Every structure is written in C-alpha cells, then in structure tokens.
Structure 1
C-alpha cells in the first residue's frame, strides 16, 4: 500500500517533541508548569501558554502516536479488505504476526547494547545509583544477564503491564503499542463482513466505553481505527477543511487539551475539566492517567482536524518533517540512552566553561534561566546531532536487516501452499 506521507511528517514532529523534551524535562521545571502556577515570580511566562506550550507537550505525544498508529495500520488493512476480500485473511494474519517482531527486535537490540554499556560504567552516576539494588557496573555479568531478561519479559507483557521504567524508561510504550495494535486487528477481523453502518456504530460504542473507563491507550487506537473507517468510506465527503464553527471549535479544544501541563493535578486554568470526568477515571488509577485521558481526547480531535486540512498536510510533507518522520522510530529508540550517558557531562562542562562557577541547583532555576537555556541549547545541539547520525545509521544498516529477519521467520513458519 502507498505510504501516507503527511502521517510520516506528523510522526516525525511528535518524535522530535519527545526527544527535545526528554533532554531537559527532569531538570528545567518552568516549561512544564502552568502559566498560573505558584509562585508567580517563577511562572507567568509566555512559553507556558498555548500555543507555545505545544513545544513542551511531551505527554500528549504518546496518545497522538497511538492515534496515528491506529489509523495507519487500519487504513492499509481496510483498503485491502474492500479491494481484495479473498486475500484479506492472509494479509491480516501476516500483519498480526509481524507486528510484535518489528516492534521488539529493535527494542531487544537496544536493551542488549545499553545493558552492555551499563556494565562497563558508561552511564551517568544517578542512573547507576538508581539501579544499584539490582545491578552494578563491572560486577557479576550473570546478574546483568538476569536483569536484562527480566526487563525484556516485563517489556513484552501486554496482559499485566509491569511499568518497569528503571532502565530505558521510554520503552514503557512498547507493550501498550502492541496491545493496542492487537485490539485493532481483532476488531477489524470481527467486523470484516459487517455492513459499514454497523461497523461505525460498534466502533462508536467501543470508543464511548473505553472513554468512560479512562482506558486512554486503547481509546486512542480505536479512535484511529474509527477515523480510518470514516475516511475510506465511499460516502465520505469530509476530505478538506471548511472553516465552520465546528471545525474551529475542534481545533481550539484540541490545542487546549494537548497543552494541559504536567503538574500533580489540574492547574487553575484547567480545573473546570474535573466536572467532566467519569467516576472511573481516578477510581482505579492516578492523576497522571487522568491527564493522559485528556491528552488522548485532544490527540483524537487534532488528528481529525489534520485529516480535513490539506494545508496542514502539505506543511507536513515538506522536507524537515519528512526527514524527521523517516528517522522517527530510531530517534525514539536511541535518544534517551544517549542523554543518560552524556547529557550531564556536556551540560556541566559547558556551564563551567562559560560561567566559571558551580552548576545551579533546581531552586536557583528562576535566577539562572538565561544561562541555563544557553547551556541546554549548546549541549542539546551536540547530542541531537549524535542522535540524528545514529538514527541514520540505524535506518541504513539495521532496519533492513530487521525487516529481512522478520520476513524470513514468517516464511519459515508458513506452510508451502501459503508461500505459493
């Protein structure tokens, strides 16, 4: 199936925001607080207001990725279902089989390499101390092997999520990605012979049910599937943006929800949203999941707007978003280990070189915002360049090998008549 290039650009921008924010999200606090947060002297900055907060919308990018994934895997399969009904079961079977291998082979390679680097003490001291109760550099290789095995098993557990974030913490999305993909595949399989209206009604009920219980990840995938069903429908006429009140309202709400800040509760300018929660959102989970539900709603609304906006789609097919999209998966895989190994080293040495004094504590952030921004720009430019180079090498040399290995495994397992 032909690639949808503007989706690559959207995925690339989202990957950039994630990598950009991970570089300083544990250090600088101001961008991640609300404009109305206390104390006033450390806030009330323009960068804390929408739409500028889009640059710091790290948490909202995860459900956006999931909506894009739900739409992408659905769009290709649904078009194949409608044009090649006889071959559709084989195509669906192949997709179900390949998905976990394509997700977890790169992740297994990354975790193995980073575990080896951790053994040789390449990581920064703070991470080594956090893992000290389990493993220590240059001690007991077998302990490292056992830890790696436990970590990989946790990462692949889609039935009972383990949330093992001590090491390569950004890979917590992998089991959610696989679980959401399988929900989409199962739904497409069950609905394959249904009438179009029955499919949409069922997806609407699933969408509402998942939203009621705050299952933000599955909700995002099903929303992507629903939008794909609507978009490929022969009766679909919503193909370009019309500046109606509904379109503008969706755009504004999407922007507003995506910009919900990463604080421990609703900020003052979002507090009214608590009235729209269902009883289940905080009954079983914590505030962070409530925030993700709102981010997921914002991501779905934003994606629905993008589907109707040729101008935005053209913007996403320009060179920079497309290059970021081409490298989005390896950027996502590789950026955090690079930061954990070299971020503090670079920032502390650049600070000492420029300002000739000790690095400021988090309490002194407000008084040193200008120098800190300078240091982060310089260090981020260096490490960002390294991540881009490594991502390019990954795409050239590793990704084709993973693709061929996946295909070889599938062909080895298939019976002869299916190969033919």
Structure 2
C-alpha cells in the first residue's frame, strides 16, 4: 500500500477537525475547556476528557500538518538521493525550491483577492467588519482594499520575520511557516547528501534536541518529519515491526493522544500540571503559554505520526474511502472554510436555533445552560455549511488546481535553460 495514501487520509481528518473547530470556537466554549476546569457545574462532561477532546484540538492539528508535510517532502527527495545520480538530486532540489512558493501562494493570493471582493460588497458578517474597520470598510475606497491586499500578501511572504497579519484569513498564518520549513528541509538534505547514514541521523538528533530545548516548535516539527523519513530509509522502506513491540505502540499512542488533547486554556489544566516539570525555561520566554502549548502539541504530533508510520493497521484504516475523500479535499477545504463561515455562520446558527427552539439565540453568559441544544444546533448548521465547503473544494480540485499547476510549470519553464527543461 502506498504510504502517501494514508498520509492523505490523516491530513483529511486533521483538516476536518480544524474546519469544524473554526465553526464553533469563540461561540461555544465548553469543548475547549478541561474536564477539571472551574466552575465544576459548567464542566465535568465526557467530551472534555482525552481522547474525546481530540475532536476539539484544532491547535494540535497545525504541528501535525507540519510533520506530515515534512515527511512527504523528505520521502520523495530521499528516494531521489538514494536511487539516482547526484545531479538528479540537485535538479530536483532546484525545481522544488522554485515551485514550492508558487504552488503555496498562488491559491493564497487568489483567495485573498476574492476575500477582498466579497468584503467590499458587504457579504461578510458584522463582527468581521468591526475587526478591520480601521483599515477597510465595505463599499469604501477600492484603493484602500488593494493596498490592504498588497500589505497582507507581502506580510505572508516574509518568512524571515513573521508578521502574524491575520487579516480576513486568519488561518493562513501557517503559510510562511510552511515555506520556511520546506526550505529548511531542502537545505538540510542538500548539505547531508554525501554524508554517511549514521552521521545524518546523529546530526538530526542533535538538531532536534536543540530545537526542543529552546521551544522552536515549528522548526522542530519539520526536522522531525525529515528525521523519521531518514530513519525509514536507514531501516529499509518495508520494515515491519515485530508483534512483540505492540505494547510500545499502545503506550506511545496513549501518550501522543493525551498530549494532543492539551486544552486551549490560559495555563496547564489540573490534569496536565505535572508536565510543567519537563518544560525548559526557554519555552515560555517569548510568547508565554501559547509557545508552551504548541511545543507540547508538537511532541504529541511527532509521537502520533511515528506510531501511524509503523502501524499497518492504522495505515489501512486511513486508506479507506472516507479519509481518502477528505484528504483529496483537505487543502482547498482548509483554504476556503473560514470565508464561508464569516459570511454565513451566524445567520445559519440563529436560523437553526429559531427552528428548534422558537426563541432568540442565547447570550454568551447563558451558554452553559444550553450546551446540549447548542451542540445540536452546531451539528446541524455546521453540517450544512460543511456540505457547501466540500462542494466548493471539489470545484477547486476540478477547475482551479490544474490551472495553478500549469502556471507553476510554465513559470519554471520560462526561467529554465533548455538543457534543464529537458
């Protein structure tokens, strides 16, 4: 079975978790709190416990995306390195370095441009308009929208000093990290191309230890993906772990799921406080608790991916029809879902609530009294919007993605000399 299939399935499930969480985060808060959070009468619900809380762990999916992306890129390049002439690896790296930003940012620029048009015509909901009211307004100066769009795109392209310009597409903050991590992989593979296999593994191990010590979680995720690809190549592509190690898998899987379920609160919840003794002083030096939580999520993502990488059963499960369908749509679903929510989520939720309850939508302070009803409303309205998102993602795959691939190839061909085109 092709390992890319199960990676696509895992990516699709992660994209679905992010999409569904973006629909409810900020509106219904109970799923994002720990089981032991206070006050007790507003918590102590089974969906707040691991592993059920994995369904609400959108923050943990970002490191998992990075590990999957890193492993996929590394696996392809390492096969070229070990099975081809050295010049072939150089050509492949050269092509990847050029094509990667184009393939990543062409869809992003198209989405950001469409977002500005939709916002200009007043199709976004009021709370979104208030967020950027000091910069742009519907039906205002078109030049202000063009300037805002240009500033947003240039901020996204800054991979050296991240700008964190969330704009109208807050989920795309991962794109400069993705590009920077990809370039780090290309550079590391190029430098280590002529090294002995054990020297590569030792160097990567030291680099990962250094990054983990300082809490550079995003770089740690990318190099961890490369490290697991190198280990896979070193052991042999078709290595099957003996059954006696099943207990090790179960333990690693349990630890990984537990860490991935670390909730998005302002500090360690009571059932995670013992982890404080394992963090270094550098983890919280720059961005406080956010970096601490991301570092733990990165460790959980690497552990989880390592388990799936060595488990044929989990790979077969991820290669089934539903995960594969989600995997095929994962990138466009991730791109467009927030725009759909910004235009339709509030009206859809309030209308479904009225149909079920025949009363006004509850205020935020009344949420804990209606958790069951709110979940029902979110499932129904979210299911409708998810169908819309998937339909649009299918259109993207069918219509736009081939065009973006063609533009990328044409751009590369225009820049390349004839010998390298061949």
Alignment partners' CA distance in 2, 1:272 and 1:76: 39
Alignment partners' CA distance in 2, 1:412 and 1:237: 40
Which stretches of structure 1, 4 residues or longer, exceed 4 Å deviation after superposition?
Answer: 234-238
Alignment partners' CA distance in 2, 1:169 and 1:148: 14
TM-superposed deviation, 1:285: 2.0
User: 2:130 is matched with which residue?
Assistant: 129
Q: How does 1:154-193 map to 2 (within 5 A)?
A: 154-193=155-194
Q: TM-score, normalised by structure 2?
A: 0.97
5+ residue gaps in structure 1? Answer: none
Alignment partners' CA distance in 2, 1:322 and 1:236: 22
1:78 aligns with 2:91: no
User: 2:390 is matched with which residue?
Assistant: 388
Larger deviation, residues 30-39 vs 228-237: 228-237
Q: How does 1:48-63 map to 2 (within 5 A)?
A: 48-63=48-63
Alignment partners' CA distance in 1, 2:196 and 2:342: 51
Change (3 A) 1:236 1:415: closer
TM-superposed deviation, 1:3: 6.6
Q: TM-score, normalised by structure 1?
A: 0.98
- Please give the per-residue CA displacement for 1:380-400, whole angstroms capped at 9, x wherever unaligned: 111000000000000000000
Q: How does 1:272-291 map to 2 (within 5 A)?
A: 272-291=274-293
Report the secondary structure of 1:233's partner residue.
Answer: helix
TM-superposed deviation, 1:354: 2.3
Alignment partners' CA distance in 1, 2:342 and 2:10: 26
User: 2:113 is matched with which residue?
Assistant: 112
Q: How does 1:294-309 map to 2 (within 5 A)?
A: 294-309=296-311
Q: How does 1:239-318 map to 2 (within 5 A)?
A: 239-240=240-241, 242=243, 243-318=245-320
TM-superposed deviation, 1:322: 0.1
Give the superposed CA RMSD: 1.3
Alignment partners' CA distance in 1, 2:294 and 2:78: 28
Give the count of matched residue pairs: 419
User: 1:40 is matched with which residue?
Assistant: 40
Report the secondary structure of 2:267's partner residue.
Answer: coil
Alignment partners' CA distance in 1, 2:368 and 2:73: 45
Q: Kindly indicate whether the alpha-carbon contact (under 8 Å) linking 1:241 and 1:247 is maintained by their aligned counterparts in 2.
A: no
Alignment partners' CA distance in 2, 1:149 and 1:240: 51
Larger deviation, residues 292-301 vs 271-280: 271-280
Q: Kindly indicate whether the alpha-carbon contact (under 8 Å) linking 1:10 and 1:321 is maintained by their aligned counterparts in 2.
A: yes
Q: Kindly indicate whether the alpha-carbon contact (under 8 Å) linking 2:115 and 2:168 is maintained by their aligned counterparts in 1.
A: no
Change (3 A) 1:244 1:378: closer
Change (3 A) 1:266 1:238: farther
- Please give the per-residue CA displacement for 1:275-332, whole angstroms capped at 9, x wherever unaligned: 1111101112221111000000000000000011100000000000000000000000
TM-superposed deviation, 1:20: 1.0
5+ residue gaps in structure 2? Answer: none
